[in-house]
Structure 1
Amino acid sequence: MSLQIDESVLKNVVADVLRKLQTQGAAPTIAKKDDDCGCSCNGACANGDYGVFKTASDAAAAAKEAQKKLRKLGIEGRDKVVKIIKATCAEKSVEWGQLEFDETKIGRLEHKIAKLQGIPNLPGVEWLSPRGMSGDHGITMEENTPFGVVGAITPVTHSIPTLSCNIVSMVAAGNTVVFNAHPKGARCAVVAIREFNKRIKSAIGIENIATIIETPTLDSFNELCSTPDVNLLCVTGGPGVVDAAMKSGKRAICAGPGNPPVVVDETAMLAKAARDIIFGAAFDNNLLCIGEKQVFVLDKVYSQFLSELKTAGAVGINGNQLDRLTKIAFTTDGNGGGCSHPVLNRDLVGADATKLAEIAGASAPTGTEILFAETDANHLFVIEEQMMPMLPIIRVKNIEEAIELAKISEHGYKHSSMIHSLNVVNMGLMARALDSTLFVKNGACVAGLGTGGEGYSSFSIATTTGEGITTPDTFTRRRRCVLVDSLQMY
């Protein structure tokens, strides 16, 4: 997810979108027909036209045949596909951002667009490099080879961006891919797959390098996991789908849930910390799995940090207002045994901060990016991955308490964490305690994925299975070829 953007660029993106919508009319929306996929194909999708199939088995079989053809084209062929995906995302970013926003109704339009504009920065075939060894006993070459067909599960939070990112990495590795998209983001995903297939077929004569199930269901997911034509699974989603994939019997690369904490100690540059936290947590209304979800602040700088949050544009709500919001944002669901657990109100996931303020009975100016409230460490907004632009702020006595409570709130997901500090000892203490896949020091969460920080990125961060930020290398097998002793050429 190497967006390579900052706040000023985002504002320019928004202005450009508004100008285009005013001069050209509203961006096209996805048709909602009952007899087709909604992409103006007049039912052709039912026949597997341009990568869209009725069943997982058909989609996987077509992708398997496409992978055989792709292998014959070698790395040069893969590179052509990757470049087509990147160029299409850049070209269609405004249109597809609007399509996804209209369908999912979560997040912020300008950030949907920005995510698609970041796809061209992802690693491609150049990421793969063989390793050679030569000595008295011969020559050995280790190289990356594809798995074959990857079955991919994508989330509603980043439907087209995750799909596009996965194609770049998986095809660069030599695989083809079948998608079972989240049902609430499937129609825009179908549009993207059809467009990709049209362009790829025109360029290299191969169709179905990326396929998708027209109407994704739990049954299609199970079918995708069980079909022998799928060699590898890649899941980007919540704990339920991750658990199911890992029990499928297939190798699974799983990007599971996160609940990233932030620690602010007494040495932090407080004004910068406030701006960074707002920028990361408010991005796409806190839909990012890496996004700042709860902030632990040392007592010595607690009041000053709250003041800096307000100066940076965050709007605070009081205890009564927080209670009203919490009652709507979470409910309890009995399990039949007399116990209950909190359930997130999905209608508020990715909602605007102004909507949350209205529910809380607070006042927030138009354009407010994020709310904040003082809470204890056991509040639902702290312990649940709530994906809303509302930051709970927790006062702590010292760095030890901050790190311990941060670790508890992260639930051992080992996903992402942040610290704002100039004390390297404190940085080290938190790094070792949380052992998270992404650990950002003195920056917004997105710095961990190349936006404001160095490095590459991906929308699939395999925390559960340990691969980390996925790249083309993630989706390859390692093969060793050995030429022995006297067969060397001197």
Structure 2
Amino acid sequence: MMIVKKPIQYAIIIDKQGDYGVFDTMNDAIDSAYEACEEYSKYSHSRRNDIINAVIKELKFHIEELSLMTCKQIGTNSYDDLLCENMNALANSENDKYHEAMLTSNNKFNNLENSFTVNGVVTPSSNPIKTIINNSISMLRAGNAVVFSSNKTAKHVFAHAIKVINNAIETANGPKNLIVTVKEPSIENTNIMIEHEKITLISAIDTNSEKIAL
């Protein structure tokens, strides 16, 4: 059994609109991500890599906390399994071959190589942190911003993970709100994201972990 070595503190209160990527409305989230992406597009490859490495480092530091918080919120006892999945996702995010495969998959759907876009992601409830890691890192490497639509069951851990990522980006002198979500996930917010003109690609993950372009 794996042992949690760091204190677990998961009482997250997000009161401020847009506090580290967590917004009151989906429209505000998308508009902020669009502005962040425009700034991010001007960064050199080296500078983007520095930001991505900072995000990976911060996620590694919080991965036990995020995994335990997920278990508590979605009502599962599979902490060890979730932690293993999340750690593997982080390991894959540093693997060049895995990254190239993800980029190839994304380009197959949107045919926008070397473009700077805002992508929307609809996430499952089974392991939201794994989805955040996989999509955030791969899309940041491609120069894109990401808007996540989560589900009510995991909204607190989801918001915390987004906050952790944005804190790392800002600490590395990157743009605010490259990775965003809303405080209160809903079907209405997901529909706004799907239909929004500033969202170039929508990815959904079904129960078989298949990516679907809408």
Superposition TM-score, scaled by structure 1 size: 0.39
Kept in 1: contact 2:123–2:149 (CA 8 A): yes
- The separation in 1 between residues aligned to 2:197 and 2:94, in whole angstroms, is 27
1:304-383 superposed matches below 5 A:
none
CA deviation string 1:276-318 (max 9, x = no partner): xxxxxxxxxxxxxxxxxxxxxxxxxxxxxxxxxxxxxxxxxxx
- The separation in 2 between residues aligned to 1:119 and 1:86, in whole angstroms, is 10
Bigger strand fraction: 1
Is 1:91 equivalent to 2:76 in the alignment? no
Tell me by how many angstroms 1:102 deviates: 1.0
1:58-137 superposed matches below 5 A:
58-123=28-93, 126=96, 127=99
Q: Secondary structure at the match of 2:9?
A: coil
Q: Give the structure with higher Rg (CA).
A: 1
Tell me by how many angstroms 1:230 deviates: 0.8
Aligned length: 201
Q: 2:13 aligns with which of 40, 44, 48?
A: 40
Q: Secondary structure at the match of 2:133?
A: helix
Aligned-partner residue type, residue 40 of structure 1: I
CA deviation string 1:180-213 (max 9, x = no partner): 1121111101001111111111112411010011
- The separation in 1 between residues aligned to 2:167 and 2:94, in whole angstroms, is 21
- The separation in 2 between residues aligned to 1:80 and 1:119, in whole angstroms, is 19
Higher relative contact order (CA 8 A, sep 6+): 2
CA deviation string 1:143-195 (max 9, x = no partner): 93135000111111011121121101111111000111121111101001111
Is 1:49 equivalent to 2:40 in the alignment? no
Aligned-partner residue type, residue 123 of structure 2: T
Q: CA RMSD in A?
A: 2.3
Is 1:196 equivalent to 2:165 in the alignment? yes
Runs of 4+ in 1 over 4 A off after TM superposition: 123-129
Kept in 1: contact 2:90–2:133 (CA 8 A): no
- The separation in 1 between residues aligned to 2:91 and 2:210, in whole angstroms, is 16
Partner of 1:172: 141
Instruction: Give the share of equivalent positions with the same residue, in percent.
Output: 22
CA deviation string 1:420-475 (max 9, x = no partner): xxxxxxxxxxxxxxxxxxxxxxxxxxxxxxxxxxxxxxxx542x56xxxxxxxxxx
Q: Secondary structure at the match of 1:72?
A: coil
- The separation in 2 between residues aligned to 1:125 and 1:202, in whole angstroms, is 24
- The separation in 2 between residues aligned to 1:219 and 1:170, in whole angstroms, is 24
Kept in 1: contact 2:118–2:145 (CA 8 A): yes
CA deviation string 1:30-86 (max 9, x = no partner): 3xxxxxxxx223x11xx1121111111111110000001111113223322321232
Please list every run of 5 or more consecutive structure 2 residues that lacks an aligned counterpart in the other structure: 102-111
Q: Secondary structure at the match of 1:222?
A: helix
Bigger helix fraction: 2
Q: 1:153 aligns with which of 97, 115, 122?
A: 122
- The separation in 1 between residues aligned to 2:173 and 2:59, in whole angstroms, is 19
Change over 3 Å in CA distance of 1:62–1:124 after alignment to 2: farther
